[in-house]
């Protein structure tokens, strides 16, 4: 669909951070969100016997627990074509207008979801 180089630098950065987190942890998904002040939060999916969370949900939770009041953007690196609808809802709960960048494991931008 798209090349990360076509994105602005801040959006390309959160895709790179999400991809790096995924690779470092060997997780199925990596995500990063950027809050209203420009701070970023990275996360990976959690797959434990008693706890399963998507990378986007963990990243949103990290932003909330750090005091973020809004999200400007979110990125997820995943083998899936699109995030689970509940992941989109979690992003929208904190950032109703945040764009969601969906990238393949190689970092190729698949799609951008907007409000």
Domains of the chain, by residue range, sit at 9-113
Q: Which of the 8 DSSP states describes residue 5?
A: G
Please say whether the structural domain 9-113 has been given the CATH code 3.40.140.10.
yes
Q: What is the mean pLDDT of residues 89-100?
A: 97
Residue 2 is classified by DSSP as B
pLDDT exceeds cutoff 80 at 62? yes
Residue 1 pLDDT grade (very low, low, confident, very high; cuts 50, 70, 90): very low
**Residue 88, Cβ neighbours under 10 Å: how many?**
18
Q: What is the pTM of this model?
A: 0.92
12-to-17, 49, 60, 69 alpha-carbon distances in Å: 9, 33, 18, 22
Locate 112 and state its tokens. 């951008």
pLDDT in tens, 15-38: 999 999 999 999 999 999 999 999
Q: Comparing C-alpha atoms, which of 96, 80, 87 is closest to residue 28?
A: 80
Computed on alpha carbons and rounded to an integer, the radius of gyration of the chain in Å comes to 12
Residue 102 contacts residue 110 (beta carbons within 8 Å): yes
Q: Which of 50, 60, 57, 46 is nearest to 83 (CA)?
A: 57
DSSP-assigned states of every residue in 89-105? HHHHHH-TT-EEEEE-T
């Amino acid at each position: 669909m798209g090349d990360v180089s076509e994105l602005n630098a801040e959006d390309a950065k959160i895709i790179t951070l999400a991809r790096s987190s995924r690779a470092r942890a060997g997780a199925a998904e990596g995500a990063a969100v950027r809050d209203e002040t420009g701070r970023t939060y990275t996360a990976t999916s959690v797959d434990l016997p008693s706890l399963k969370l998507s990378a986007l949900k963990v990243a949103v939770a990290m932003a909330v627990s750090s005091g973020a009041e809004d999200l400007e953007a979110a990125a997820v690196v995943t083998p899936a074509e699109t995030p689970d609808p509940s992941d989109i809802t979690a992003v929208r709960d904190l950032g109703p207008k945040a764009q969601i960048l969906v990238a393949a494991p190689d970092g190729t931008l698949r799609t951008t979801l907007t409000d």
